[in-house]
Chain A
């Protein structure tokens, strides 16, 4: 079978398919179907330094080819994650990525310090969550904000640092450049696009939080476009995501410039979809005589 391995920021992945943060829990929920070692990696449920209750329900609404969510980062806190989930994850999984959010820079730094001493393989800074009032996307929507969080967290950890970008900005390449210059080792993109749905009978938003983040196939072309723009603007490796549900989608976003992919919403539709993408990529490589996926990264021939 084809060699699907990829390397990002010095970390070896046995294949480029990673479960996206917030959609795969901490790896514990799908083990009835397949071992989590089948996935190249897992980006764990977004965590904050203190436990967080999240937003009131309903927290999800369906859209054409996608969903809106407004979870609001419900999680048991970094310490809870390290004590309770990490040992099993390390034992059963491949690359373990801790996805971190915060309201203040101090929060991010304290979380990174704790994780630096833990067994996680990488840290993914979520500066792009649209579902919490303080923090999250407020850091990711300005170059200054993104730069300062990256700078301070960089000082706090030696772990490979991924910064996850929000698409809810005018020019995503400016943010990518800002985090590159402050020492990020990779970027992942895109987080969800801010959206809203209203029940026409009750005239109420479907989400109790009124607005939420759009994900799923609906956002895929936006993700491809933004990955392409960032691929051309920075030299950091990119983990591409946003609506990937088939191996063809994975190839497409890799041609745009992604070195690996994350899948989220597609898992809700078909829990086996990440494995189907892995198999599909292997078949694609064999058929086209591709020895390493790095051969196709960014190889879109623009007009």
Chain B
């Protein structure tokens, strides 16, 4: 069940230069939402809505949280929103993560792929190990949020200005080596997802990845948001908005 409504913004903060956290009061959408789903957000003056992952769900307060980075004209316009304004939201959309009831979960996020991982940590707390990577110290977001949930956090930066220097795949290899991992879940740049998926295959650990694609409707109607997948041994285009955005990694043809 999804909704299309204008919801009041109850909190807006800048987390890093050009990266914003926005909380809206949306009781019906919050009630229906699950980790890994997204919203298609209307931006005044633009034909297309912007897909943004749901970063936080508070069913009791009836709020949804989004964290987005200014990338182009639409997100720049979106960044102008203030507390008290209304946000035009179509949500919750798509298939989220399926989180195993027991066992250790590794949540891997790269850059602006980190926000959709946070809700996994909310649900799994100490069971969750978060491996989050950023370009440099100035781009770090949400690290304390993961810690507050009781999750262990491995912080990586490309240039070593904070945490471990290098890619998220280094700490991921260590964690997988320790064994006893129920699932790996990941969101980030395509190259990152591809290497995460490959490592999970080697260690024989189930892996779910959250994909991005340019979208039209966001609800499965227009088939513009396709990604190449293999289902029942057959190559076919799936819809990121409806069949995803979260897919089992073995279904995804990353070079398609």
- A25 x B221 contact (CB < 8 A): yes
Given the complex of chains A and B, what is the CA–CA distance between A59 and B226 in angstroms? 8
A33 proximity list for chain B (CB < 8 A): 2-4
0/1 string, A56-82, CB within 8 A of B gives 1: 111111110111010100100000000
A25 proximity list for chain B (CB < 8 A): 220-223
Q: How many residue pairs between the two chains, A and B, have CB atoms under 8 Å in the bound complex?
A: 100
Chain A contacts with B in 18-32, Cβ cutoff 8 A: 22-25, 28-30, 32
Knowing A54-B237, A271-B4 touch, does A65 contact B221 (C-beta < 8 A)? no
Chain A residue at minimal CB-CB distance from B72: A62
- A216 x B219 contact (CB < 8 A): no
User: Smallest CB–CB gap between A11 and chain B, Å?
Assistant: 23
- B223 x A54 contact (CB < 8 A): yes
| Interface 9-mer from B112-120, B166-174, B210-218 | B210-218
0/1 string, B36-55, CB within 8 A of A gives 1: 00000010001111000000
A240 proximity list for chain B (CB < 8 A): none
- B47 x A268 contact (CB < 8 A): yes
| Residue A269 interfacial (CB < 8 Å) | yes
A83 proximity list for chain B (CB < 8 A): none
- A60 x B237 contact (CB < 8 A): no
Chain A residue at minimal CB-CB distance from B228: A56
- B223 x A74 contact (CB < 8 A): yes
- Residue from A28, A57, A265, A271 in contact with B226 in the complex, judged by beta carbons closer than 8 Å: A57
- B47 x A66 contact (CB < 8 A): yes
0/1 string, A264-290, CB within 8 A of B gives 1: 010111111000000000000000000
Size category of the B interface is 20 to 34
A216 proximity list for chain B (CB < 8 A): 47
Size category of the A interface is 35 or more
- Residue from B47, B218, B222, B223 in contact with A217 in the complex, judged by beta carbons closer than 8 Å: B47
Chain A residue at minimal CB-CB distance from B45: A65
- A74 x B226 contact (CB < 8 A): yes
0/1 string, B1-18, CB within 8 A of A gives 1: 111100000000000000
B222 proximity list for chain A (CB < 8 A): 22-23, 25, 60, 69, 71, 268
User: Smallest CB–CB gap between B74 and chain A, Å?
Assistant: 8
User: Smallest CB–CB gap between B42 and chain A, Å?
Assistant: 7
A60 proximity list for chain B (CB < 8 A): 48, 214-216, 222, 224-225
Chain A contacts with B in 179-236, Cβ cutoff 8 A: 216-217
- B217 x A23 contact (CB < 8 A): yes
Knowing A57-B227, A74-B237 touch, does A30 contact B221 (C-beta < 8 A)? yes
B2 proximity list for chain A (CB < 8 A): 32-33
Knowing A25-B221, A32-B1, A69-B224 touch, does A59 contact B214 (C-beta < 8 A)? yes
A265 proximity list for chain B (CB < 8 A): 47
Chain B residue at minimal CB-CB distance from A269: B47
| Residue A53 interfacial (CB < 8 Å) | yes
User: Smallest CB–CB gap between B206 and chain A, Å?
Assistant: 26
B19 proximity list for chain A (CB < 8 A): none
User: Smallest CB–CB gap between B176 and chain A, Å?
Assistant: 30
User: Smallest CB–CB gap between B223 and chain A, Å?
Assistant: 5
| Residue B256 interfacial (CB < 8 Å) | yes
A32 proximity list for chain B (CB < 8 A): 1-3, 219
0/1 string, A249-270, CB within 8 A of B gives 1: 0000000000000000101111
Q: Which of A23, A25, A57, A65 has the most CB of B within 10 A?
A: A57
Chain B contacts with A in 18-42, Cβ cutoff 8 A: 42
| Residue B90 interfacial (CB < 8 Å) | yes
Knowing A30-B219, A56-B256 touch, does A62 contact B48 (C-beta < 8 A)? yes
A54 proximity list for chain B (CB < 8 A): 223, 226, 237
Given the complex of chains A and B, what is the CA–CA distance between A58 and B219 in angstroms? 17
| Residue B79 interfacial (CB < 8 Å) | no
Chain B contacts with A in 212-255, Cβ cutoff 8 A: 213-228, 236-237, 242
Given the complex of chains A and B, what is the CA–CA distance between A208 and B228 in angstroms? 13
Q: Which 8 A-B pairs have the closest CB atoms?
A: A25-B221, A29-B221, A60-B224, A59-B224, A29-B220, A29-B219, A58-B214, A57-B226
Query: Chain A residues in contact with chain B, CB under 8 A?
Result: 22-25, 28-30, 32-33, 45, 53-54, 56-63, 65-67, 69, 71, 74, 216-217, 265, 267-272
6 pairs, CB–CB < 8 Å, chain A vs chain B: A25-B222, A30-B221, A57-B224, A57-B225, A269-B49, A270-B42
Known: A29-B221, A56-B256. 17 other contacts (CB 8 A): A28-B220, A29-B242, A32-B219, A54-B226, A57-B213, A57-B214, A59-B223, A59-B226, A60-B215, A71-B224, A217-B47, A268-B217, A269-B46, A269-B49, A271-B4, A271-B217, A272-B4
